[in-house]
């Protein structure tokens, strides 16, 4: 069965990661970009995790100890990536009983959510999953799609986001709005990811005038 990609706001959500090795480090790296508050619990940490913590301070806590059940009182979601398979399964069972979303890295049957292959450019996120059938295909497609995304698209999306209220305020007709937003994207791509507020204002006036003719 295919998995449905809900896009979730993780900012300030509490994330518990159990295990502090290579696998957990990679999860922290991916999740960091989405700004949750991450706590990693492990008796031993990958040196890169310590480095990340120095850069990221407030939002990444490292607790050097074994996992304990009370760790599950707080988190909004959990990732189990320890080298102890039985412990990972135990954490998965505890989370499922408490209805806490759980990912056990590379063990699909113990996951209530799985990680997609990700492309991120500012507010744009492309997520690819094969429903666990072939993570290698997910990675392959990610690399292909990356090439297809024009440079500066994240910047452009951010700029266009800032003009949405202006367009909605000035243009009542949905069909003209759609035309304006489409033109902004096309022109923004041609201009290498830039579309200024002045251009937005001009475009709105031009499209409204064309409509009145
Ligand atoms: C997308 C990505 C994101 C990420 O990891 O963050 C991800 N796996 C990636 C790569 C990758 N993983 C593996 C290989 C080696 C080749 C191979 O096995 O194919 C490669 C390829 C490589 O590294 O080149 C090993 C592996 N993975 C899983 C199993 C278990 C099994 O197959 O039963 C095994 C065998 C373990 C063993 O042998 O014991 C299971 C899962 N891996 C998932 C995600 C979830 C399903 C995603 C989907 O729907 O497609 C799921 C179900 C659970 C989860 O972990 O969330 C990341 C893309 C990297 C990128 O973005 O660049
Ligand atoms: N490294 C990979 O690319 C890879 C790929 C596929 C699968 N795996 C599997 O994923 C698991 C983790 O891999 P890794 O490379 O991160 O291993 P690792 O040995 O680098 O790290 C394991 C981590 O688990 C922690 N841990 C052990 N017992 C714990 C406990 N009771 N409570 C909390 N933390 C505990 C250790 O302190 C360590 O931080 C392994 O089982 C490995 O076989 C790894």
Looking at all shown ligands, the one closest to residue 136's CA atom is: 1
**How many Å from the N-terminal Cα to the C-terminal Cα in the chain?**
52
Q: What is the pLDDT of residue 55?
A: 86
Q: What is the DSSP string of the chain?
A: -PPP------TT-EEEEE--SHHHHHHHHHHHTT--EEEEEESS--HHHHHHHHHHGGGEEEEES---GGGGGS-SEEEE--S-HHHHHHHHHHHHHHT--EEETT-GGG-SS-PPEEEEETTEEEEE--TTS-HHHHHHHHHHHHHHSPTTHHHHHHHHHHHHHHHHHH---HHHHHHHHHHHHHHHHHTTS---HHHHHHHHHHHHHHHH-
Rounded distance from Cα 116 to ligand 1 centre (Å)? 9
Residue with more model confidence, 8 or 56: 8
Looking at all shown ligands, the one closest to residue 41's CA atom is: 2
Q: How confident is the model at residue 212 (pLDDT cuts 50, 70, 90)?
A: confident
Q: How confident is the model at residue 101 (pLDDT cuts 50, 70, 90)?
A: very high
Residue with more model confidence, 179 or 57: 179
pLDDT in tens, 154-193: 999 999 999 999 999 999 999 999 999 999 999 999 999 9
Question: What share of the chain in percent tops pLDDT 90?
Answer: 93
**pLDDT exceeds 80 at position 57:** no
Alpha-carbon gap, residue 90 to 93, rounded angstroms: 5
**Under CATH, to which class is 1-115 assigned?**
alpha beta
Pocket test for ligand 1, best of 126, 135, 136 (most atoms within 8 A of CB): 135
Tell me the pTM: 0.93
Rounded distance from Cα 190 to ligand 1 centre (Å)? 37
Rounded distance from Cα 1 to ligand 1 centre (Å)? 17
Rounded distance from Cα 181 to ligand 1 centre (Å)? 37
Mean pLDDT score across all residues of the chain:
96
Closest atom of ligand 2 to CA, residue 105: 10
Q: How confident is the model at residue 213 (pLDDT cuts 50, 70, 90)?
A: confident
């Amino acid at each position: 069965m295919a998995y449905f990609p809900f896009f979730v706001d993780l900012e300030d959500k509490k994330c518990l990661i159990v295990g502090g090795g290579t696998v957990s480090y990679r999860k922290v790296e991916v999740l960091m970009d989405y700004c949750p508050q991450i706590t990693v619990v492990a008796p031993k940490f990958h040196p890169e995790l310590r480095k990340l913590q120095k850069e990221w301070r407030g939002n990444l806590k490292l607790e050097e100890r074994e996992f304990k059940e009370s760790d599950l009182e707080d988190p909004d979601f959990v990732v189990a990536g320890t080298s102890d398979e039985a412990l990972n399964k135990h954490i998965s069972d505890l989370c499922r009983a408490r209805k806490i979303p759980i990912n056990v890295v590379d063990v699909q049957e113990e996951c209530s959510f799985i990680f997609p292959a990700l492309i991120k450019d500012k507010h744009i996120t492309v997520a690819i999953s094969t429903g666990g059938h072939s993570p290698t295909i997910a990675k392959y497609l990610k690399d292909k799609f990356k090439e297809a995304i024009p440079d500066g698209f994240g910047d452009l999306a951010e700029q266009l986001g800032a003009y949405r209220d202006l367009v909605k305020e000035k243009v009542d007709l949905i069909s003209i709005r759609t035309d304006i937003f489409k033109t902004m994207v096309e022109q923004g791509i041609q201009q290498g990811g830039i579309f200024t507020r002045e251009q937005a204002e001009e475009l709105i006036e031009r499209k409204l005038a064309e409509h009145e003719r």
